[in-house]
Amino acid sequence: MKRTTLDLWVGIFVVAGLGALAVLALKVGNLSTYNMSETYQLQAHFSNIGGLKSQASIKSSGVLVGRVAQISLDPERYEAKVTMTIDKRYKFPKDTFANILTSGLLGEQYIGLIPGGDEAFLKAGDEIKKTQSAVVLEDLISRFLYSKAEDSKQPNK
């Protein structure tokens, strides 16, 4: 069996196809940002998660440190239980604050971690106690309207 021109063309075809796949994975997809090889998990309870989805990013000072692994409703506390996967390179103090924030005005929601000053660090499986829920636009508007109504009542008195 000897090499033929046919083999060359098929080789070019296969290499080009795999190359296209690599381009899709690295240039188009987010495989290049997926370098979280070793991770650990943390949990947090939120009274309202708004539009947070699994695979949403977790950022600290704007840097991506992990992703949301799972969201479920805690049947005892009637609160949303969010499991987070955090990169092993980053450790956070026990009194870290977890906020649900929105990127841009109508962008997707993510969890922002603000480290506290505690000297002990969170271990795998620990829970972040201090959380702040997502800002729901309807709540915000209704609060604004109520306070407006209060304001307009006062001068009449």
Partner 1 sequence: MIVENLRSLGHRIVSAVWRIGYASRFFMMILFYSGTSFRRFHLTIKELFSSGVMSLIIILVAGTFVGMVLGLQGYETLKRYGAESALGSLVALSLVRELGPVLAALLFASRAGSAMTAEIGLMKATEQISAMEMMAINPLARVVAPRFWAGVISMPLLSALFSAMGVFGGYVVGVVLIGVDEGSFWSQMQAGVDFQHDIVNGMIKSFVFGVAVTAIALFEGYDAPPTAEGVSGATTRTVVESSLTILFLDFILTAFMFQGE
CA 70 from centre of chain: 11
CB distance 45 to 83 below 8 Å: no
Residue with tokens 């650990």: 40
> Which residues does 76 contact at the CB level (< 8 Å), separation at least 6?
none
Query: Tokens in use for 20?
Result: 């296209």
Q: Among 24, 63, 141, 145, which residue sits at the site for partner 1 (rule: CB under 8 A)?
A: 24
Query: Please, which residue, 31 or 145, has the CB nearer to partner 1?
Result: 31
Q: Among 1, 105, 120, 149, which residue sits at the site for partner 1 (rule: CB under 8 A)?
A: 1
Q: Give yes or no for residue 7 binding partner 1 (CB under 8 A).
A: yes
Q: Give yes or no for residue 29 binding partner 1 (CB under 8 A).
A: yes
Q: Among 41, 44, 50, 53, which residue sits at the site for partner 1 (rule: CB under 8 A)?
A: 53
Q: Give yes or no for residue 37 binding partner 1 (CB under 8 A).
A: no
Cα angle at 110 between 63 and 139, to 5 degrees?
A: 140
Query: Please, which residue, 21 or 145, has the CB nearer to partner 1?
Result: 21
Applying CB under 8 A, the site for partner 1 has a residue count of 27
Query: Please, which residue, 32 or 37, has the CB nearer to partner 1?
Result: 32
Indicate the length of the chain as a whole number. Answer: 157
With DSSP H G I counted as helix, E B as strand and the rest as coil, what are the percentages for the chain, rounded to 5? 30, 35, 35
Which residues make up the interface to partner 1 (CB under 8 A)? 1, 6-7, 9-10, 12-14, 16-18, 20-21, 23-25, 27-34, 53-55
